[in-house]
Amino acid sequence: MYRGRFAPSNTGSLHLGSLYTAVASFLEARANNGHWLVRIDDLDTARCVQGSATDILQTLDAFGLHWDAEVYYQSQHKQLYQTYLDKLAAQNLLYPCVCSRKTLANLNNYTGIYPKICLQTPAQTNQQEYALRIKSAPITIKFHDGLHGLEAHNLATQTGDFILQRKDKIIAYQLAVVIDDAAQNITHVVRGLDLFSSTPKQIYLQQLLGFKSPEYSHVPLIVDAQGNKLSKQTLAQAIDKNNPAPTLLNILKLLNQQPPITLNKASVTEILAWAIQHWQLQKLTKSRYISNANL
């Protein structure tokens, strides 16, 4: 089982970067006779734009990216997340944290690794809102990336104690995605390099919860002419789903699949059929960024 995950927030539409990653995971699934599943990350309801999930699904459909099971909405599985959060709490692996990003940023020599302030001096949780952090273990997480080979990450020194439940009581991405992957029997994950640092955290949680880890492949990120990652935060333009074939061909070029010029006037169905037959994940560059400036 391969998955594609989509967050219906901010602009509420897919941009080139998110569609590029979706195409990569879809082709990897189809080329290996796997199933491709779609997940909507809609836990942060305050940021979800009304109708955006429908627009995302319509865009995927327009590009021929048809999923193989019922769409999975995170908002429908809150009780499942709470069950596993309680399980970790029962093992004394969690602690409340009242620190704000501003407080941490103002610390001297802050490296981005949480300095265990609220573990060493327990927070007064009856007086203010708090997040829940997990205690990181002094272990090395090793995994094989489908593009980058063997990776090793020291959890304590390179990650630290990370958040599993936010101050607004929303389950954090790291925990939700681990539970979702287990619930959907996900065996392979193809995603962007911006999530590379999340992988050791998720493998750690999988080990604690007794879940099997999927196989991971992290593809380069798409950047614009100024070198900025395409994202909703940088106001990346929404994909036009009314004329998908040219965009799909451009994505195959960005994925270094070298589609022939004979596909220039082909339909989406014909383009995808060629792409599945000729798909090679290893053709993707191992660099962090790919520019779309020359397309």
> Is the pLDDT at 34 greater than 60, yes or no?
yes
Model confidence pLDDT, tens digit, residues 38-91: 999 999 877 777 788 999 999 999 999 999 999 999 999 999 999 999 999 999
pLDDT tens digit sequence for 134-193 = 999 999 999 999 999 999 999 999 999 999 999 999 999 999 999 999 999 999 999 999
Q: Establish if 180 belongs to a structural domain.
A: no
Amino acid, res. 186: I
Assigned domain for 151 exists = no
More confident site: 11 or 199: 199
Rounded to two decimals, the pTM is 0.92
Residue 229: predicted pLDDT: 65
- pLDDT for position 236: 55
Residue 153 lies in a domain: no
On the question of pLDDT at 251 being above 90, the answer is yes
Structural domain contains residue 101: no
- Domain with 49, as residue range(s), is 2-76+220-291
CATH number of residue 29's parent domain:
3.40.50.620
- Residue 6 confidence (pLDDT): 82
Say if 264 falls within a structural domain. Answer: yes
Note the pLDDT tens digit of each residue in 93-128: 999 999 999 989 899 888 889 999 999 998 777 778
CA dihedral 200→194→242→11, nearest 10 degrees, is 100
Q: Please, are residues 218 and 148 in contact by the beta-carbon 8 Å criterion?
A: yes
State the total domains in the chain.
Answer: 1
Decide if 48 is inside a domain. Answer: yes
Q: Is 47 a domain residue?
A: yes
182 assigned to some structural domain: no
pLDDT band at 232 (very low <50, low <70, confident <90, very high): low
pLDDT band at 197 (very low <50, low <70, confident <90, very high): very high
4-27, pLDDT tens digit by residue?
Answer: 888 776 555 788 989 999 999 999
Per-residue b or e along 106-142, where b marks 16 or more CB atoms closer than 10 Å to that residue's CB: eeeeeeeebeeebeeeebeeeeeebbbbbbbeeeebe
Please provide the average confidence, as pLDDT, over all residues in the chain.
90
Mean pLDDT of 28-42: 96
Query: Closest Cα partner for 95 from 177, 43, 160?
Result: 160
Tens-place pLDDT, residues 254-278: 999 999 999 999 999 999 999 999 9
Q: Which residue has the higher pLDDT, 201 or 1?
A: 201
235 band by pLDDT with thresholds 50, 70 and 90: very low
| CB burial string 265-279: b at 16+ within 10 A, e below | ebebeebbebbeeeb
DSSP letter for each residue of 179-215: HHHHHTT--EEEEEGGGTTHHHHHHHHHHHHTPPPPE
